[in-house]
A and B are shown apart, each in its own frame.
Chain A
Amino acid sequence: MRHLADFPRWYDDVTESTGPARFARRSLLKAAVLGRPDEPEYPPLGTGVDAAWAATRALVYTVTGRILDVSPHILVLGTAWGEQRFPLDPATQAWRGGPAAPAALRRGDHAIARRRYPGGPVVDRIWAEAGRVTGTIAEREGPAALLVDEGPVKGRKLVVISAEAAGRIQVRFPRLEPGYLIDVIGVKHDGYLQALIPATSQPPYPADHPPVPPLVSGHVPDPVNGAAVWHEPGEEPEDLLGLAYPALDPETSCEHAGFAPPGCSGDPHATGPGCVRLPYLSVGSLLWLRNDCAERTRQLPVTSCGATARLFCDRCVTCGTSRKGRIADLTMAAFVELGGNLEAGCFNATMTIGG
């Protein structure tokens, strides 16, 4: 996924370097001018951007890396900080396309693991080569291969539906035809995703025609409830703690990041606000997200555009039934950090816009 640093039109005049440092500084500048911090424990002005940004970036439960070695008792991961060893216990669960014993994971697999306790050594969940494709079916190539458009920013991905999963997926996605939506979880391979689990039920409407949300009386309620989902890192850092927000300011963000190619029926920017009305924010905005199922809350920065989430008016049923619509598309690391299970695809969430 590309970070939204391109400002065409008159934004070509915006000077200075673009990138994470600029986005990270926004919450500090906002607090300075409005005189109210985004959070009670917000670092006081003057301590620098890095401290504030680092506070939102720190992974307490989650660790990502490539498997260097694995046995029933220990997992060795090659992470950004070098080789790290994590003890496993008999209760540790692993996933590689389905439940598996930790020792069945393969060397070289990309893995994301969750610690049992914050900062603790023992890992209790491991996902290997987990991938997800969410978007509009652009082409169907034979009975089992689909080209899926994930929006102008993320591009197209190839999805191969394996024979053993075909029935399970087609029950939830009866229309595997161009123009309709798909959201599947599976195992990443070189150049394609092997789809194994339907992440939701297929919306009955074509991707370019989602329902219109009801008009909002007064202000948008804060906090707002709905479903939180996850996306693959793409071009983002694997350990990025953040979320793709479905309602970035159309004047400065998503809509100018790129345009759908001709014939693309699922440009999420052209389909209206989706079924949840959310306040317009920008990359760098901070908000609080609570996993209502795990009862875990974190402050997260908006790190990218999640316009594709607008197309889905589904509900999450991980614990009870959430309100309709997707309110956040988390990075993999953030989803796991908040206690979500990747194979479930979503959790019921409460989002509080900071400030």
Chain B
Amino acid sequence: MLAAARELQIPLLAVLLLGGCAVKAWRVLRSRSIKPALDPAGLFPLRLHRPIMMAMCATEFGLGLGLIATAGRTGTNVPATIVRTACVLFFLIAMGALNETRQRRPAAGCGCFGDFSDTPIGWRTIARAGVLCAAAAVTIGLPPLRMPSSSTTAEMWLAVLAFELSLIAFFSPELGEILVRLGYSEPCELRRLPVERTMAALHASSPWRRYARQISGAAPIDVWREGCWRFVVYAGVARGRRVDIVFAVYLQSRRPVIRAAVLDAATDEVLGLAETREFTAIR
């Protein structure tokens, strides 16, 4: 049982280290800037944030790969011991840094798993680093890993894995954040929606077909947004009068409500209204 638990730590630590590095890199790539990933370097002077962050990411990547590379028969004892000791040191330093950050910047998140780690550092985050430090410590001196020799051993591996994942999940504030985000849908007034999609929805709508013949210019004369609505204005001519044709497009991905109005360009008199379908909630 104890041997199975020890053997399990190596792949688990490797996955966590590589995962942490990947999530940070993904955050940087997504925002096209390293700035959002600088949380863990918050204790240091501003000019050191970038190099420290890069060093931390490289360390996680290196240790994760090192654990995998030295786990099997190819790894000799010395490299494996060096990598595993480095892991212990890494998590030990992380514990100290998290504790220090918690005291100096109580509102800061640890940034351990990118966007998901924005929750202020608490005892759970520090305890998680402690658990991982202990997990790394028990791998020192472990012989090369092998596949489970029997189904009983495999079941024991799975049981230990389930227990340890539960423990890490309990110590991870990120889990709550992930669950919230999985079920979260941003309200329409906060959602970024490209103008191109609004125009595509408008051009496929019946109000557009209804007024298209009256529109005199290829390009809109104004486009703007207020809350959940985007407004598009075209110049046109109706019954010999210069008119402005206003379309209001509700900002939702599928089948948006579209309304239209025609105003006399000189007097602002409303000459006509149209909409695609009834709706109840507008903001």
Contacts and interface: CB of A to CB of B under 8 A. Distances in A.
Interface of A: 7, 10-11, 13-16, 22, 25-26, 28-30, 32-35, 45-49, 177-180, 204-206, 208-209, 211-212, 215-216, 218-220, 222, 249-252, 270, 273, 277, 279-285, 353, 355
A250 to B, nearest CB: 6
A46 B248 CA distance: 20
A29 B192 contact: no
Contact of B227 (A28, A29, A277, A279): A279
Contacts of A14: 219-223
B183 to A, nearest CB: 10
A281 B227 contact: yes
A33 B222 CA distance: 14
Interface string B184-213: 101101101111100000000000000000
Contacts of B278: none
B35 A22 contact: no
B260 interface: yes
A45 B221 contact: no
B229 A252 contact: no
A354 B35 CA distance: 35
A282 B226 contact: yes
Interface of B: 31, 33, 35-36, 38-39, 42, 46, 105, 107-108, 118, 180-181, 184, 186-187, 189-190, 192-196, 217-229, 231, 233, 235, 244, 246-248, 259-261, 263, 267-270, 273, 282-283
A238 to B, nearest CB: 26
Contacts of B269: 45-46
Contacts of B190: 216, 220, 273, 277, 279-280
A218 B195 CA distance: 24
Contacts, number: 145
B246 A252 contact: no
Contacts of B259: 33-34
A16 B224 contact: no
Contacts of A180: 46
B231 A26 contact: yes
A126 B195 CA distance: 46
Nearest to B106: A204
Contact of B231 (A11, A33, A48): A33
A306 B217 CA distance: 33
Contacts of B195: 10-11, 251-252
A273 B186 CA distance: 13
Nearest to A271: B35
A26 B224 contact: yes
Nearest to B195: A251
Contacts of A281: 225-227
Which 3 residue pairs of A and B lie closest in terms of their CB atoms, listed nearest first? A279-B189, A13-B219, A282-B224
A7 to B, nearest CB: 8
B225 A179 contact: no
B225 A33 contact: no
